[in-house]
Structure formats: structure tokens, C-alpha cells
Amino acid sequence: MLNRIRRFGFRLLYNECAFAYDRVSRLVSLSQWRCWQRSVIPFLPPNDAGLILELAHGSGDLQLDLAESGFRAIALDLSANMGRLARRKLERAGFSARLLRGDAGRLPIRSNSVSAIVCTFPTAFIVEAATLNEIERVLKRGSPAVIVLSGLLTDGGWRARVIRILYRLTGQSYSESKDPELRSMFQAPGLSAQTRALALGGSQVQIVLLRKVEATVQV
């Protein structure tokens, strides 16, 4: 029952109630959300290296960050409502909105054409075999996929404690899995996986780094 309620709540937030997504994100992170999203940027190649793909772009904040940093980026999301929000946000800031609507398990993108993939706070789709296979397919060899799995408030007093309880109730708490467990979740042919825990001043983010590697040659 609790899992059904969680899924229903997230469906509303990403679709009919998408207009509230930014406010909810700031509230539940004590305004750390944007800092957590931007934590992917130091892991990216130089901004002239090629195309950056964002999976599950949400309301478009990270697309705005990438554009302001000089990256050439496109993004994909399954939610039409999120697409409209992101498009308005980017166009108001004077940037082109290169947005696709679709499923991460069936990317409408050429193989070996993407210099990096980013994804922040994804749902369970990110560890599905179809998604991982598509990540491996579209990435150029040696290129990274940078995934922010979760954030943790390490400061903030009683408010942070209350929010941590809410995270646990909604199944969005900071991952307590060990590194080998996290890496095994992202195990897929042609991809290597590493984890990072980054301290960001009053908070911490859990990051998984995937990289496309040379295929093993069978003899």
C-alpha cells in the first residue's frame, strides 16, 4: 500500500502537479537542491567536447546551468508537463530549448554520439537494463554518465531531522548501500561504475559515475 501511495504521489508531482516541483524541491532540501544538481558539472568533459544528454530533465534547471556554462546540451523527459515547464524556463532566459519527450529505455539518439550523460535524482528507471543498455549505446567510448542518486542534509537542526524522516517515508533517503552494492545495481555490459560521496557544506550527495569502456574480446 505504501509503495502505491509513493508512486501515486510522484506521478502527480511529475505530471499534473509539475508546476509545484521547484517549490517542493527547495522545501525538502532546505534550498540545497540546486547545489545538488550542479554537482554533476565538475565531472563533465570540457564544454567544447561535444553533446551532453540529460535524462529526466524535470523543470529544466540543470539545462539552464549547462547552457550558462557553455555546454551544448539536449534533454529528455517522459513528462509533457515537465517539458513545457523546462521550455518556458530556458526560453525566458534566452536559451534554445533542445528537449525531447521519450523513454530512457528507447533513446532517439545515434549510437556513439554523446560526450556525457547527466541525471539527477532519478526514479528506478535508471537501473533498468533497457536504460543502462541505451546509456552504453549512445555514449562515446571513454565518456561518462554522471548520476546524482540522492542528497543528505548533514546540518540544519530540527528541520533537517524532520526532512530526513520524510525522505525515509517516501523512499528517497540517502543511499545506505555499500559501494559494491551500488556498483552492482548499475552493472551492465560495456559500462564501469564508481561511486562518490561529495560534501557540499551542510549536505552531501551520492553520485554514481558510469563510463563506457572497451568491450571484452572473447577468444
Mean pLDDT of the chain: 80
Which pLDDT does position 30 carry in this prediction?
47
Select from 3.40.50.150, 1.10.150.20, 1.10.287.70, 3.40.50.261 the CATH code of 2-212: 3.40.50.150
Which pLDDT does position 205 carry in this prediction?
85
Mean pLDDT value across residues 37-51: 93
Would the pTM of this model clear 0.75, i.e. be above it?
yes
Which pLDDT does position 155 carry in this prediction?
65
Residues in the chain: 219
Task: Indicate the domain borders of the chain.
Answer: 2-212
